[in-house]
Amino acid sequence: MTDHGSKVGQVVVIGAGIVGVSAGIWLRRSGIPVTLVDHAAPGQAATYGNAGVLAACAIIPVTVPGLIAKGPRMLFDPDFPLFLRWSYLPRLGSWLLRYLSHANGPDTRRVAGGLAPLVVDSVAQHHALAGDGPAAALLRHTDYSFAYADRRAFEADAYAWQLRTEAGFRPVIREGRELREYEPALGPEIGCLVTLGEHGFVRDPGTYVTRLASAFTGMGGVLVQASAVDFDLSGGRIRAVETSAGRLSCNHCVVASGAWSKPLMRRLGLQVPLETERGYHIQFENAAHIPKTPIHVASGKFVATPMEGGLRCAGIVEFGGLDAGPSTNPLRLLRRQVRRAFPDLQATGEREWLGHRPAPADSLPLIGEIRNTGVYSAFGHHHIGLTGGPKTGRLIAQLITENAPDIDMQPYTPNRFAR
């Protein structure tokens, strides 16, 4: 452990998901005193319910060219996994216009270029974070596949595959008997399987982060269950974080509270165009006839992952804000799509979940110092929070200890949203 503690001083990290816990661990490894603050137990928000994939190839934003023309059809197609609570549309409008403005070739390539350094080495970053501790037992190094109805459907996705190929990924295409031998759990509606090596998954994301948080406290880190509500920026630098449990003095602060980060950014003078993508999962408990590795089913835009508790099928995008409860239609669609892809699936029960992905309008996370305040942002990862969390936490620790990261941090600067 390198001791930077006397130089850096106390750090408060707001948010105990994968990003916040990762930052805490890397900071403690540098000998820095860290307090991790969250209103809930570690790993219980978006981290808990994601698909668990270490998606090294996840460099393609949703806002690809052609999205604007397809958008209306997507919203009104009962079999397309995009939903909108229409009562929320007035609040969503300005964000949506900014979001769609990036649905073009140059912006897509720019975003892909920004996401790649955060995710392409995800498996190695997770192993470096977990070390030889108990959390490492939940990591698996596997293939990751994309399932299509047929070769034509795969070829229709050529733009995304071109970008993945340019990033160094080499797909293996399987059809017919070769597909069935490789993955017998898939049904006849899947006729083309495209597989990438050097990926992985976490067999229980919630427990994984809980174990990482235990490692953090075992290293001397402090965990406080409270809500962060304000900052003391006397003299223009962070002096303390005001929480529901009282004042926490600090020399640096990291905001890693995902979809709940926007109000805190306002207090720092940033007007971040951030929305929540409401994501759903169904966990089929004690499931049989399931895939052996994670599969992204292209037609349903969901990922099926073999978890410790059964098969988790996660996906669907709904826009409806942070406060509304779960909708029934997204879950109905997810069940239909799962049964189409895995017709022989058997399970003793089901568990449903709704969570919130933090979605900046430009599809790039906010990672870096806000002006010269000593406050750092580490949120906004859309669908790659688990995948890119360990790398993000490591980058934040490097920035705080003035150990220059080996990647260009400019694409992620939070100051792009300064008022």
Per-residue pLDDT band at 417 (split at 50, 70, 90): very high
**10-27: average pLDDT:** 98
pTM over 0.75: yes
pLDDT at 105 over 70: yes
Percent of the chain exceeding pLDDT 70 equals 99
Q: 271-291: per-residue pLDDT in tens?
A: 999 999 999 999 999 999 999
Kindly compute the dihedral angle of the four CA atoms of residues 34, 46, 264, 129, in this order, to the nearest 10 degrees: 30
pLDDT at 4 over 70: no
Residue, of 82 and 148, whose pLDDT is higher: 148
What does the pLDDT read at residue 71?
74
What does the pLDDT read at residue 2?
62
Q: Which CATH architecture has domain 5-47+207-270+363-417?
A: 3-Layer(bba) Sandwich (3.50)
What does the pLDDT read at residue 77?
76
What does the pLDDT read at residue 299?
87
Q: How far apart are CA 62 and CA 319, in angstroms?
A: 14
**181-191: average pLDDT:** 98
Tokens representing 93 are 């409008």
Q: What is the separation, in whole angstroms, between the first and last Cα of the chain?
A: 39
Side-chain-side CA neighbours of residue 405 (13 Å): 19
Per-residue pLDDT band at 74 (split at 50, 70, 90): confident
Domain ranges of the chain: 5-47+207-270+363-417, 56-200+274-360
pLDDT at 79 over 80: no
For 192, counting Cβ atoms within 10 Å of its Cβ (0-12 exposed, 13-18 middle, 19+ buried), the class is buried
Per-residue pLDDT band at 45 (split at 50, 70, 90): confident
What does the pLDDT read at residue 6?
59
H helical segments located in 30-136: 46-49, 67-76, 89-100, 105-119, 122-130
Q: Which CATH architecture has domain 56-200+274-360?
A: 2-Layer Sandwich (3.30)
Among 75-84, 249-258, 309-318, the least confident range: 75-84
Residues in the chain: 419
Per-residue pLDDT band at 264 (split at 50, 70, 90): very high
pLDDT at 308 over 60: yes
Check: CB of residue 231 under 8 Å from CB of residue 257.
no
Tokens representing 160 are 């995304």
340 SS3 class: helix
Q: How far apart are CA 138 and CA 200, in angstroms?
A: 11
What does the pLDDT read at residue 15?
97
What does the pLDDT read at residue 382?
94
Which whole-number Å values give the CA distances from 128 to 139, 393, 410, in the listed order?
11, 12, 25
Q: 321-344: per-residue pLDDT in tens?
A: 999 999 999 999 999 999 999 999
Residues 6+ apart with CB under 8 A from 367: 376, 377, 378, 392, 395, 396, 409, 412, 413, 414
